[in-house]
Amino acid sequence: MIPISLALVHQQFNTALGLFAVAAASDAADGFLAKRCGWQSPIGAMLDPAADKLLLATLFVLLAVLGLVPPWLTVVTVGRDIVIVLGAIAYRIYIGSVTMRPSGISKWNTLCQAAFVLGVTARQGLAVPPNWVMVMLGSLIFVTAVISGIDYVLRYGRDAWEEAVARRAIRAGGSRRP
């Protein structure tokens, strides 16, 4: 993350593009090998998406500061992640352990964000892709961020509600129902 950020700060866009492409490819290979070879662990399942989100959030903020990404899109993408993290912390404190279950729309959001960061960086260094592609990717990010953010809130809110109802039933001497 730091080398990519430094390259962007120094407006070395081709270097940043190459570093981000390598990071994305290694992350994809890591995910593929973890699933294919059964090299998955609970800590890896938590840290890998967190690292991806930290990288993307950092790059979105940095690109917005450089004037290359609309601030409103940065607020939407980073805000969604903040809501999810704060929700997970609250869930952990008040309910119990959190098992993150990323939805398909959330995975699409992450993919669109990565493609957008690649596109923004490539436009600065290579003058591609065309503007309409960037508008389309930005629109997809907005739509998938809003839908997946609402999905997370509803799913984990429902889980918290069901757990609270079950705890009340146990305290009242009833049986625990899922």
Q: Give the CA distances from residue 94 to residues 98, 100, 145, in Å, rounded to whole numbers and listed in that order.
A: 11, 16, 26
Distance CA 163, CA 96 (A): 9
Residue carrying the six token digits 């997370």: 152
Domain boundaries defined on the chain: 42-171
Report in angstroms the alpha-carbon separations of 39 from 35, 36, 43, 50.
7, 8, 11, 18
Instruction: List pLDDT tens digits, range 90-124.
Output: 988 988 888 777 889 999 999 999 999 999 999 99
Q: At what angle do helices 131-171 and 104-126 cross, to 10 degrees?
A: 150
Mean pLDDT score of the chain, rounded to an integer?
90
Q: What is the pLDDT of residues 43-92, one digit of tens each?
A: 777 778 888 899 999 999 999 999 999 999 999 999 999 999 899 899 88
In three-state secondary structure terms, 33 is helix
Cis? peptide before 70, omega within 30° of 0: no
